Amino acid sequence: MLEDASSLRWKFYFVMGLTLIRVPLIFLFLAVSVFGGHPLPAGWFIVAFSAMILSALTDLFDGYFARRFKVTSRLGSYADPMMDKVFYLATFPTLVYLAEQLGQSGHAKALLILAILFLLRDQWVSFLRSIGAIHNLSAKANWSGKARTIISFPTICVIYYALESPTNWPWRPSQNILFGLEGLSMAINLVSIAVYTSCFWSALKLELRPPDANRSEPQ
């Protein structure tokens, strides 16, 4: 029994480590991208791009291993979306900055709109989860959140590659590919907002009732 408990504890910390390592990886990406100079030397680009990809991959594998090892937890259900926010908070302003540095003013504006939409969606979902917690509704990510991650992480990586990869590298995505991916990311964010609102609507509707004199309200 003690061996089983020790193994379970190791698996739990392994999964939490996968979740939390996203932070140092994404800050490594941020530091290299902002302070590494423009154009970024090929070696430093590989470092930053690898850190970004690894950070994105940990989001896919921490949930997989949590389910496989049967160590899913409430802490993990809250930590994972928090790490996603750190990823978006670091990457989107960086992409806007790089696009502006390259003189792509229109692209920078599109990325700014996308960044605002991402952050508004995250704040709205956090608000809904807070309301849902009052009424014991699950805070676990639903299919729209997972679809958003599957679409958004590769999109951000492709945009960064297009903006910062060495100019003599053979492949570069076209503007049509970039705007198509960005449009798809905007669409899945709007869908996710609608889906989460629907999931927590019953709790939100209860909280929208006018205060009742006979009901004790939180101070």
CA distance 112 to 135: 35
Split into its structural domains, the chain has a count of 1
Q: Which domain holds residue 169?
A: 2-206
Q: In this structure, is residue 21 part of a structural domain? A: yes
So what's the pLDDT on residue 217? 54
Tens-place pLDDT, residues 80-110: 878 888 899 999 999 999 999 989 999 999 9
End-to-end CA distance of the chain: 45
Q: In this structure, is residue 213 part of a structural domain? A: no
Q: In this structure, is residue 217 part of a structural domain? A: no
Q: In this structure, is residue 211 part of a structural domain? A: no
Residue 177 has pLDDT above 80, yes or no: yes
Q: In this structure, is residue 58 part of a structural domain? A: yes
DSSP state of 215: S
Q: In this structure, is residue 214 part of a structural domain? A: no
- Binned at pLDDT 50, 70 and 90, residue 50 comes out as very high
**What CATH number is attached to the domain comprising 10?**
1.20.120
Q: In this structure, is residue 219 part of a structural domain? A: no
Closest listed residue to residue 67, CA positions, set 127, 11, 107, 21: 11
Q: In this structure, is residue 192 part of a structural domain? A: yes
